[in-house]
Chain A
């Protein structure tokens, strides 16, 4: 491209082939690229037209070369018309992309050091793998908290894998309730073959979509509003209201499944996507039908290789069978789904950061308003929901919003998935109708293993709970009244053997590492918070407690997005509940 300047570095033949083939899969082919064009004609919009190919192209380059080489980046940038400095800014934003030559050609073992794995011996696992000669990268939560210590292997030249998926796929230990006939959201998990559309249809799959066509888009939205369904990602926004707002905007509109599940302690969407991928695709199709969307996107975190493969296979099979594409199932509705893989950034689970990432920019959140319902993906009206929320649509459309609303409590309708981990008898994914208390959910998971010291509710962005607070109902209203947050449904138990100070310090480190760096309160505040806790070992003097409070208030009030707003919440709760008496040495006491 005449408009761009490149260094002299050239891509190898293998890099060119890998990048070109990744872009071709997106419909960006050489024919559209060689055309002699100058961005002057189309302005910024024209320049950014192919930019969404950046993340897939970077994945291809990382895989073939083990890092983002200058020559490879130049080739990718030339193909997409993206300035190399900007592409480097994007590549260096993500954990899964190396922008320096690693000096070896081996795969890299990412070992989770976040809380559930930390207390299960993450550092010992790191030492073992290093002793065995592996290259180890300490990783934030890998979303396998029910089976610590989590490991994800980033291959070079081959597929990324989660080793335990090869020997012990989920559907077994991760879902202790499986085969329970009362399950609804998890009814198919472990019962169907997740790689077979026939198996899914045989279990009642795609009946909900047929029902949706009968009800019509407005009818579907009416049922969702009547159901009282609210988002399960943490913000609890009414799903029907969101879809109706998007449907009312001019097209093209989009629906997005936010499968960038990265909240420490959360693994529900992974298990659903791995075991019931067609359900996610069908539910997204229903959301797209309701919103009048032209297209659906699934943004899935990069550390979920099995879920990504199963979802991709499901999308492909659904398209072949006519459940995606032009005039779905002989209706007048046309809709398709594209899957995009994240690359290691907690912030990309924030919906506007997700848009930036998918569009090929740094995964930085945007100031709201404007909201995604008017200015979302590619600037178009967009409804974003996570897979768990979407899953509920199948039930709502099939049985009607009224029947759905009869389950649960006044302000929390339907069923909820809880990710129970840490010191419990049977860590795993649990489904309950809204209503049970924290104690009841812990009991469901086999009770606390040992004597309870504290529970982390809602993840790293949530709050600690003391053993004398276990009667809080795990509903939106119940947790709100108690000054807590349900978050993404994380219930992580710590017994008396856990060094809670080490856990709190790790949570602070998590936010320090995951802040995108865009706004000052979060970029600096998250660092200062962590420094203070490390330096003091969490034993704070009164002026230091004031400082912590000062930082918390500024981050809550002045940060751009929810990451900064909640970066102090769990830490502050540990202090206010008086949980921090022990010395901080990490792991077990």
Chain B
């Protein structure tokens, strides 16, 4: 690992070779919006909300996947950067329900994204899919960030139950021939739900509470514990509301799980609170 000297917004900074521009920005305290990026997934650089300007480059570059180079001049707040970030957020807002996308509203306001500029825009227009007792899939909220596909596939579970199907605006996350999830290869690890940034994939517990207007994250406590099913040592975060477990996650930076769990750790907690 050698040190790379380059600049961010005119400030000379140092990073290690192989580090991404986004990583360097995070180290330097330069805030960057992200959507398809996650610390525990391979960057797919598809959402384009993290784009930055590299002086001399014809187009903007995705900071999540582009690695730093010696002498590179990175601009994170130029007019071009602000414009493209605004348009990406505006485009998404015009066709997708972003009401449960954490953090995006703030960025949309900051860049002045105005999805209402589009008259009768085509929307995702999907029915909510409830095919089992564990997941709810509402693709009206899907931004096609590929995170669930990665978590189901090469980056975590290696189950490959879902993939992107179709093309263009018609692209959707789908099982083969859109068969119901219980008939697919799905093993209900919940890792797709765990990485979804917009609430398109939800645990049924959360979905039902939201439907009832009773999803109250500010009242929830999060308790860290170790899964009791086997000896691997996965850490669990139990999200508790009104004395009841409503969701189980794992920290993305945990050395054992990298944020991913199996069906038992994720859903096998009913014995804690017999009804």
Given contacts A524-B169, A547-B117, A560-B45, contact A73 B143 (CB under 8 A): no
Q: How far is the CB of B257 from chain A (nearest CB, A)?
A: 20
Q: Which of A211-219, A407-415, A548-556 contacts B (4 or more CB under 8 A)?
A: A548-556
Query: Once A and B bind, how many residue pairs between them come within 8 Å at the CB atom?
Result: 167
Q: Which residues of B contact A557 (CB under 8 A)?
A: 51, 59-60, 80, 83-84
In Å, the complex CA distance between A78 and B129 comes to 28
B88 located at the interface, meaning its Cβ lies under 8 Å from any Cβ of chain A in the complex: yes
Task: Give A94 Cβ to nearest chain B Cβ, in Å.
Answer: 8
Say which one of A175-183, A328-336, A486-494, A513-521 lies at the interface with B: A513-521
Interface-central residue, B62, B154, B160, B170, by most chain A CB under 10 Å: B160
Chain A, 504-525, CB within 8 A of any chain B CB: 512-521, 523-525
B163 touches A85 (CB 8 A): yes
Contact B166 A92 (CB under 8 A): yes
The stretch that binds B, out of A116-124, A298-306, A527-535, is A527-535
Chain B: which residue is nearest A94 at the CB level? B167
Chain A residue contacts of B86, Cβ below 8 A: 554
Contact of A92 among B83, B94, B167 (CB under 8 A): B167
* Bound form: Cα–Cα A517–B143 in Å: 11
Q: Enumerate chain A residues within 8 angstroms of B83, measured Cβ to Cβ.
A: 550, 553-554, 557
The answer to whether A70 and B177 touch across the interface, beta carbons within 8 angstroms, is: yes
Q: How far is the CB of A309 from chain B (nearest CB, A)?
A: 27
The residue on A at minimum CB distance from B67 is A369
Asked whether B121 is an interface residue with its Cβ less than 8 Å from the other chain, the reply is yes
Given A86-B163, A89-B163; A517-B122 close (CB under 8 Å): no
Residues in A whose Cβ lies below 8 Å from that of B136: none
Q: Quick one: which of B46, B161, B164 contacts A519, CB cutoff 8 A?
A: B46
Query: Is the Cβ of B168 less than 8 Å from the Cβ of A526?
Result: yes
Cα of A531 to Cα of B170 in the assembled complex, Å:
15
A589 within 8 A of B: no
Tell whether A528 pairs with B176 under 8 Å between CB atoms, given A523-B168, A550-B87, A560-B45. Answer: no
B260 at the interface (CB under 8 A from A): no
* A519 B87 Cβ-Cβ under 8 A: no
Determine if A559 and B48 form an interchain contact, defined as CB atoms under 8 angstroms apart.
yes
Q: Collect the chain B residues with CB atoms within 8 Å of residue A565's CB.
A: 59
In this complex, how many residues of chain B approach chain A with their Cβ under 8 Å: the count is 51
Alpha-carbon separation in the docked complex, A344 to B59 (Å) = 28
Q: Which residues on B sit within 8 Å (CB–CB) of A5?
A: 161, 184-185
* Cβ contact of A521, chosen from B48, B119, B153, cutoff 8 A: B48
Across the interface, do B59 and A519 meet the contact criterion of CB distance under 8 Å? no
Query: Known interface pairs A531-B122, A557-B83. Does A516 touch B175 (Cβ–Cβ under 8 Å)?
Result: no
Known: A531-B120, A558-B60, A558-B87. A524 touches B163 (CB 8 A): no
Q: B183: shortest Cβ distance to chain A, in Å?
A: 6
Flag whether A17 is at the interface (Cβ < 8 A).
no
B174 CB–A CB distance under 8 Å: yes
Inter-subunit contact A514/B168 (CB<8 Å) = yes
Q: Which of B117-168 contact A (CB under 8 A)?
A: 117-122, 143-144, 153-154, 160-168
Shortest distance from the beta carbon of A57 to any chain B beta carbon, whole Å: 15
Q: Is the CB of B177 within 8 A of A99?
A: yes
In the complex the two chains form, what is the Cα distance from A345 to B167 in whole Å?
A: 9
With most chain B CB atoms within 10 A of its CB, the pick from A527, A553, A565 is A527
List, in ascending order, chain B residues with CB within 8 A of A558's CB: 48, 51, 59-60, 84, 87-88
- A523, B167: Cα distance in complex, Å: 9
Could you list 14 further interchain pairs (A-B, Cβ under 8 angstroms) beyond the known A367-B65, A527-B122?
A5-B161, A83-B160, A85-B160, A85-B174, A85-B176, A518-B46, A521-B88, A524-B94, A526-B168, A528-B121, A531-B121, A535-B119, A554-B86, A558-B87
Sampled A-B contacts (18; CB under 8 Å): A4-B185, A83-B160, A85-B174, A88-B163, A345-B167, A367-B62, A514-B168, A516-B171, A517-B164, A517-B168, A519-B46, A521-B48, A524-B169, A526-B168, A532-B118, A554-B87, A560-B48, A565-B59
